[in-house]
Amino acid sequence: MNISPIDVCRKQQQFFRSGAPRSAAFRKEQLKKLDSLLRNNEKKIEDALYADLHKHPQVVYTTELAPVYEEILLQLKHLKKWMQPKRVSTPVYLQPSVSRLYPEPVGNVLIISPWNFPVLLSFRATVGAMAAGNTILIKPSEYAVHSAALLEEICNQNFPNEYLYVLNGNGHDVLPVLFDECHFGKVFFTGSTAVGSKIMEMASRKLSPVSLELGGKSPCIVDATANIRIAAKRIVWGKFLNCGQSCVAPDYLMVHRSVKQTLVAAIISEIETTYGNEIKSNPDYGRIIHERRYQTLKNYLKQGEILYGGETDDAERFIGPTLLQNIQPGASVLKEEIFGPILPIFTYDNTDEVLAFIEENPYPLALYVFSNDSNIQDLFIKEVPFGGGCINETTLHLGNSNIPFGGIGTSGMGGHLGKYSFDLFSHYKGIVNRKNWFEPAFRFPPYNLQKLKLWKFLLGRKRY
């Protein structure tokens, strides 16, 4: 059925105002339906993601589907509790009163998802918006052609469009029209910092609040105390997963000079153990999403000395796992988020050098520290502003829905997952319920110095 984006928005706003999405029974029904639809279409999802990104079925399940299933389970488990008003304390000068927070859905939610994890990053946020009682419009990336078409098929054939709808099309054409005509209770965008800035600007036209999951230069630091074998294994997995096309992939490696040679040898060994000597024919290794991105990555290969790898195939948009060193000063690979299977390697002698290097591209989305020294671990956690990360691991912090995933500064705003998603897509009404059995006379005019003295005692006295 053909329906204009503006008509969809209006229908969803009308459906939301009817109150239908607010009941716990309705929310649970929709969450369970989404779970069943994804499970029943796993093979189609595998095929679409292979066509778009050459993803292996195991990667599809572990990084695209399983986290969504887990998020649905968590929301279903806690939904009744999270929906309840929460009593909070009331200061003495407002007595006799009871104060509560009432969670309310924000309304019509727009989720703009990227091409690198099109199922995960469309539906994980959708789950939170569903649980919070909203209507949802999903705009997937047009670059993941097969995945976007499948998302449209799965959702638009099984959910009423006044509740959940997938809108495909070129984002440059579709989104400005939406933002010009529609107010959204929340806009949730995952993508690049540059595009995120434009989304925020467009959303401001109707004062639609935004949550931005962006990217940046995410450092991976390996000090002299690290377990090199384990570090190499986990760095290779986190960096070359999805052919490096992940917003939380280690963007560059900072390794203590004393262990650089050992670590590089271990990384090369792990690459060859993982993907073999004929990487292009390995079904576990992905491809670059489109030609423009492929050409950008090929240009990065020219900006330093290739320590390992560097193989390309234009016909398949294949770039093999590559280690770079001796990067040219001012090179774009030092400033831009790489988003591909290229890992620049830098050495350091002391932690001040690392902190100064990170500060050249502040506010990374993720940070990874491989060290067995708790003081080093704490130093980087405390001294570097970043979204989230791991100690002696990469990327897996995204798998824990009990901690928020989100950026800071130029890497984003507004964390989600689990309860944080429910909160992100909710508005908490604060209510003070006064009792009628007592009414202090000193509250009302006529004012005098005695009343002022009493107010100073109640409001201005030191409590520390």
- Cβ atoms of residues 242 and 63 within 8 Å: yes
When pLDDT is averaged across residues 1-30 and rounded to a whole number, the result is 93
pLDDT above 60 for 203? yes
Locate tokens 């997963």: which residue?
241
When pLDDT is averaged across residues 21-32 and rounded to a whole number, the result is 97
Lowest mean pLDDT among 61-70, 294-303, 432-441: 432-441
Query: What is the per-residue pLDDT for 2?
Result: 72
Mean per-residue pLDDT of the chain: 96
- Cβ atoms of residues 150 and 71 within 8 Å: no
Query: What is the per-residue pLDDT for 235?
Result: 98
Fold identical between 5-214+414-427 and 219-401? no
When pLDDT is averaged across residues 375-379 and rounded to a whole number, the result is 98
Which one is catalytic: 46, 64, 71, 213?
A: 213
Which one is catalytic: 155, 182, 247, 390?
A: 247
**What is the distance between the terminal CA atoms of the chain, rounded to a whole angstrom?**
64
pLDDT above 60 for 190? yes
247 flagged as catalytic: yes
pLDDT above 80 for 123? yes
* DSSP letter for each residue of 427-464: EEEEEEEE-SS---GGGSSSP-HHHHHHHHHHHHS---
Topology, domain 219-401: Aldehyde Dehydrogenase; Chain A, domain 2 (3.40.309)
213 flagged as catalytic: yes
Locate tokens 């994890």: which residue?
117
Query: What is the per-residue pLDDT for 272?
Result: 97
Q: State pLDDT tens for residues 237-278.
A: 999 999 999 999 999 999 999 999 999 999 999 999 999 989
Query: What is the per-residue pLDDT for 1?
Result: 57
pLDDT above 80 for 234? yes
Conformational region of residue 90, where left means phi above 0, alpha means psi within -120 to 50, and beta covers everything else: beta
Q: State pLDDT tens for residues 40-59.
A: 999 999 999 999 999 999 99
State the virtual CA torsion across 148, 40, 117, 345 in degrees, nearest 10. Answer: -150
Query: What is the per-residue pLDDT for 30?
Result: 98
Query: What is the per-residue pLDDT for 457?
Result: 85
306 - beta bridge partners?
324
Report the sign of the C-alpha dihedral through residues 352, 357, 362, 368, in that order: negative
Q: State pLDDT tens for residues 155-181.
A: 999 999 999 999 999 999 999 999 999
Residue 1 to residue 20: CA distance in whole angstroms: 23
CATH number of 5-214+414-427: 3.40.605.10
Name residue 231's amino acid: A
The residues spanned by each domain of the chain are 5-214+414-427, 219-401
When pLDDT is averaged across residues 426-441 and rounded to a whole number, the result is 92
pLDDT above 80 for 386? yes
